[in-house]
Every structure is written in C-alpha cells, then in structure tokens.
C-alpha cells in the first residue's frame, strides 16, 4: 500500500518522522511531501501567485521526501498531480503538535491536507496530539498505522477522519470515541502592546473553551482521556436551510 505523509509543522517535525518510521516498519510504501517550514493555522490556503519550489530531503543519507515552499494543501495537490508516479492509497497528515478539535478544524493546515485528499478522491487521516509540549509520538504513530489498516479497505467510502490523541502515556488512554466536532466558539483574548516606536499592536495570547459544557464532542472526550475520531467532509452546504432560503428568494428577480 502506498501512503503519502504530510503535515503543517514542517518536514523535519518529530511527529511526521514518527509516522514515517511507523508506516515503514508496517510494510507500507511511504512518500513524504511536506512544507519546508511550519505552516500552522493556514487553513485550506493554496499557492496561486508564486511558484512552488521543491527540494529533495535526505535522512541518514537516504531519500526521505520532498519539501516545498507551499501550504499543506499544496503538498497534497502537487504530490498527487505532479510528483508521484501513481496515486497513493491513503494520505496521512500529522502528527500535529497540539489538538485540532472544535472550530480549530477550520483553521488547521493539518486537517486541510486531509480534506484536500478527500476532495481528490483519496481516503485520508489527520492526526494530532493534545499538547504543545515535547511529545513521545511513538504510540500515536503506531496507533495511526493500525487505524489505517482498519480504514484502508476496498468497501470503505472515500472520506477523511480527524483523529486527536491525548498526550498521556499509552496505558493511561481510556479508549476511543467516535464523536462529532464541537461547534461552540472559543473565548479568545488579545493582549495590547506597544512597539519601541510607540505603535500599537496585538498578540493573541489565549484561546479557550469550557470543555465541561460541550459534552459528546471531540473536545470533551479528548479532555477526558479518550482518543477521538471524527469523520469530516468538505461540503459546507447547510442542507437544513436549503428549502428555507429557497422560499425566501424564489420570487427575487435579477
């Protein structure tokens, strides 16, 4: 099986390297195409006005993959349409440093890479860990391999999974929950500062949510110590409102 690995933390990120080693150990054919530096929170941005430059990256003297000066979505597009001789069976994005739950899914480059794969008709998994501290990614990487084996079967419909893993020792993880994405807004704070020339600027200093009030969501169960799995899609149509909006505007003339 052919696996394409990417991320938004950059090609040298520890989480990506852990995935590479785990999939290689599992007998998969692995290709890495990832940003040349961190591209966190770029969402589903793509590069249109500038050339996308690629560079071969080696690890231990052996070919490791390509780094590009673009976004995570660029990585998937370029890999599938130009760099690879054949389409991968699966795209895996991560392992991200920090959770991608709730509304953050919309901002995440990690999740957007997986979504781009689904747009192209390729099953995908986005994987993140719930901490910005240094991690031991070993368990998360091998869990992702096992999840891929379950997910990568011919009868599966093409879709993307968003997976978040608690940053605790493996024996402290309480289980797995397949749950919906939380849609409650985060409470954000911006700190006002002055630069040496007296100009005002702002720094986003916190983004939080009361997870005890969002039960049965990805945020709640991750904080409870469970691995969360959320099937996601790229169709943003609000189907529940289609008929209502149609009735409002059906008599409108151009």
Q: Write out pLDDT tens, residues 222-242.
A: 999 999 999 999 999 999 999
Report pLDDT for 61.
Answer: 86
**The pLDDT of residue 154 is above 80:** no
From residue 246, alpha-carbon distances to 177, 241, 242, 250, 253 in Å are 37, 8, 6, 6, 13
Question: Is the pLDDT reported for residue 157 higher than 70?
Answer: no
* Global pTM value: 0.92
203-207 average pLDDT score: 80
Strand partners, 190: 204
Position 83 scores a pLDDT of 96
Q: How is the chain split into domains, by residue range?
A: 2-249
Residue partners of 29: CB distance under 8 A and separation at least 6? 1, 2, 3
Mean pLDDT over the full length of the chain: 93
Please give the pLDDT value at position 217.
Answer: 95
Q: What is the structure's pLDDT at 134? A: 74
- How many CB atoms are located within 10 Å of the residue 38 CB? 15
Confidence band (pLDDT; 50, 70, 90) for 153?
low
Residue 213 is predicted with a pLDDT of 82
174 contact partners, CB below 8 Å, separation of at least 6: 224, 225, 226
Judge whether residue 191 has pLDDT over 90: yes
Q: Look at residue 142 and tell me whether its pLDDT is greater than 70.
A: yes
Whether residue 150 has pLDDT greater than 70 = yes
- Quick one: pLDDT band at residue 251, thresholds 50, 70, 90? confident
Higher pLDDT, 74 or 63: 74
With cut-offs at 50, 70 and 90, classify the pLDDT of residue 156. Answer: low
**Confidence bin at 73 (pLDDT 50/70/90):** very high
Q: Is the pLDDT of residue 208 over 90?
A: no
- Which secondary structure element, helix H or strand E, spans residue 208, and what is its range? strand 200-208
In the predicted structure, residue 2 carries a pLDDT above the cut 70: yes
Q: Identify the pLDDT of residue 158.
A: 62
155 pLDDT above the threshold of 70: no
What pLDDT does 118 receive?
Answer: 95
Q: What average pLDDT does range 60-82 have in this prediction?
A: 95
Burial of 173 (0-12, 13-18, 19+ CB in 10 A): middle
The torsion angles phi and psi of 95, rounded to 5 degrees, stand at -80, 125
Architecture of the domain whose range is 2-249: 3-Layer(aba) Sandwich (3.40)
């Amino acid at each position: 099986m052919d696996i394409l690995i990417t991320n938004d933390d950059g090609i040298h990120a520890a989480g990506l390297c852990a995935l590479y080693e785990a999939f290689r150990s599992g007998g998969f054919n692995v290709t890495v195409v990832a940003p040349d530096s961190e591209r966190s929170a770029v969402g589903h941005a793509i590069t249109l006005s500038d050339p996308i430059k690629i560079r071969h990256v080696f690890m231990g003297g052996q070919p490791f993959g390509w780094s590009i000066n673009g976004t995570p979505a660029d990585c998937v597009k370029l890999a599938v349409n130009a760099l690879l001789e054949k389409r991968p069976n699966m795209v895996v994005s991560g392992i991200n440093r920090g959770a991608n739950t709730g509304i953050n899914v919309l901002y995440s480059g990690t999740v957007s890479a997986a979504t781009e794969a689904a747009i192209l008709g390729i099953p995908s998994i986005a994987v993140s860990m719930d901490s910005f501290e240094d991690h031991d990614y070993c368990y998360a990487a091998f869990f992702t391999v096992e999840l891929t084996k379950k997910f990568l079967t011919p009868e599966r419909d093409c879709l993307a999974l968003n997976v978040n893993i608690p940053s605790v020792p493996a024996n402290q993880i309480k289980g797995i929950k397949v749950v919906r994405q939380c849609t409650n807004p985060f409470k954000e704070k911006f700190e006002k500062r002055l630069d040496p020339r007296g100009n005002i600027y702002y720094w986003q200093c916190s983004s939080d949510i009361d997870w005890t009030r969002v039960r049965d969501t990805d945020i709640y169960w991750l904080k409870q110590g469970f691995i969360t799995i959320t099937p996601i899609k790229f169709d943003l149509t609000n189907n529940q409102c289609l008929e209502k909006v149609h009735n409002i505007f059906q008599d409108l003339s151009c």
